[in-house]
Amino acid sequence: MKKRLIPTILLIVYSVILVKVMVFKDVPVIRIGPLMLNFGGTQEGPANLFPFKTILPYLLGEKGLIIAGLNIGGNIILLVPIGFLVPFVYRNMTWKKSLALAVGAGLAIEGMQVALRVGIFDIDDVILNGLGVMIGYWAFAILARMESSMKRKTITIASIIVVAAAAAFYGFIATHKRQAPASFRTGATDSQPDRLDTGKAEIPQGEDPCGGTGGTGQIVSLGNNSITIKRNDGVNEIINLTVKTTIKNSVGSLSQSDLKIGDRVTVVVMSNHIATTVLVCNAQIRGPAK
C-alpha cells in the first residue's frame, strides 16, 4: 500500500494540472523571442465527429509546422504521464485496460469542455489524447520488463521526475505570464483555433493592434458579411463576419464598412471561418466609424 502512495499522490496532482490546462485552458501567454503563444481561452462552434478531419490539415502542413506541432504534440504529450502513472496505482493494468482508460480519458476531457461550455467536442482530440495515454503505458511496460536490472524504486523516482518537471514548467510559465497586443492562438489542447489572438488586454491608442507582425493576411475582397484575405502563406481564405465580430484599429472600434481592400489584418477565427475579432494593422489607420 505504501508503494502506491506516492504514485497515487502524483496521479492526483497531475490530473488537477491536466484539468486546468486541457479543460479550462488555464495556460498563460508564452513569449519565445518575438513570438507570442496563447493557449488559453474558450472555443466555440460545431462538434467534430469525423476522425482526422482536424488532424489531417496539420499533418499536411496547411497551418504551419509550429501550429501543427503544438496542437498534435500537445494533445499527445500531456496525457503520457497518465498512462505511465496509472499502472503504479492499479497493478493489474493490461494493454486492453489501458486502451479503455485512453478512450475514457479523452472522452472525459472533451465531455467536460462541452458540459462546462469552455470548448467543443472534437473526436480527433480524443484520438490524440488516447494515443498519449497508450504511449505512457507502453513506457511503463518497457520499464517493468527491465525491472530485473532496475529496482522499482528507480522507476518510481523516474515517474516523480516526469510529473515534477511538468508541474515546474506550468508553475514557471504561470509566474512569467505576459499579455501582448497580438499573439498566436494555437489552441494546443483544442485543435480548432490557429489564428492570431489579441488576448483580453485592451490595445493602447496609437499602438499597432497587430503587434508589428504585419497581421495574418491582407484583405483582397469584400463581401456581404464576409471578407477574403490572402494569408501570409499565400492561401486565400473567406472569413465570415457576424454582429458579434469585433473590428478595431489603433484608434478605436470600426464597422464592417470601414474595412478596405488592401488592409493588413489580424483575425481571430474559431470555427466555420467565423471571425470573433478583426484587427486592422497600422499600415492603414482610419478613424473609428461615426
User: 26-30, 115-119, 245-249: lowest mean pLDDT where?
Assistant: 26-30
- Burial class, 19, CB count within 10 angstroms (exposed 0-12 / middle 13-18 / buried 19+): middle
Average pLDDT over residues 183-190: 40
CATH superfamily ID and name for 195-280: Copper binding periplasmic protein CusF (2.40.50.320)
Percent of the chain with pLDDT over 90: 25
The answer on pLDDT for 14 being more than 50 is: yes
Backbone angles phi, psi at 110, to 5 degrees: -65, -40
pLDDT in tens, 129-165: 999 999 999 998 888 887 655 555 666 666 667 666 6
Whether pTM > 0.75 for this model: the answer is no
Higher pLDDT, 284 or 59: 59
Mean pLDDT within 16-27: 83
The cell for 288 is 473609428
CA 287/CA 9 separation, integer angstroms: 57
Question: Is the separation of the CB atoms in 74 and 190 below 8 Å?
Answer: no
Residue 84 is predicted with a pLDDT of: 92
Answer yes or no: are the C-beta atoms of 217 and 239 closer than 8 Å. Answer: no
Most confident range, picked from 95-109, 184-198, 231-245: 95-109
Q: What is the pLDDT of residues 46-64, one digit of tens each?
A: 888 999 998 888 888 776 6
Alpha-helical segments (H) within the chain: 2-18, 55-59, 65-77, 80-89, 95-115, 123-145, 152-175
- Does the structure show a pLDDT above 60 at 72? yes
User: How does residue 28 score in pLDDT terms, banded at 50, 70 and 90?
Assistant: low
- What was the pLDDT predicted at 70? 77
Most confident of the following: 209-218, 219-228, 235-244 = 219-228
Question: Mean pLDDT throughout 105-126?
Answer: 91
Q: Give percent of the chain with pLDDT exceeding 70.
A: 67
What is residue 24's predicted lDDT score, i.e. its pLDDT?
A: 83
Nearest-angstrom CA–CA distance, 222 and 228: 6
Confidence bin at 125 (pLDDT 50/70/90): very high
| Arithmetic mean of pLDDT, 245-250 | 88
What span, in angstroms and rounded, lies between the C-alpha atoms of 117 and 111? 10
Comma-separated ranges of CATH 2.40.50.320 domains in the chain: 195-280
- Give the chain's mean pLDDT: 76
Residue with the larger pLDDT of the pair 219 and 159: 219
Closest CA to 162 of 62, 71, 78: 78
pLDDT at position 190 is 43
**pLDDT for residue 180 is more than 60:** no
* Alpha-helix runs per DSSP H in 78-151: 80-89, 95-115, 123-145
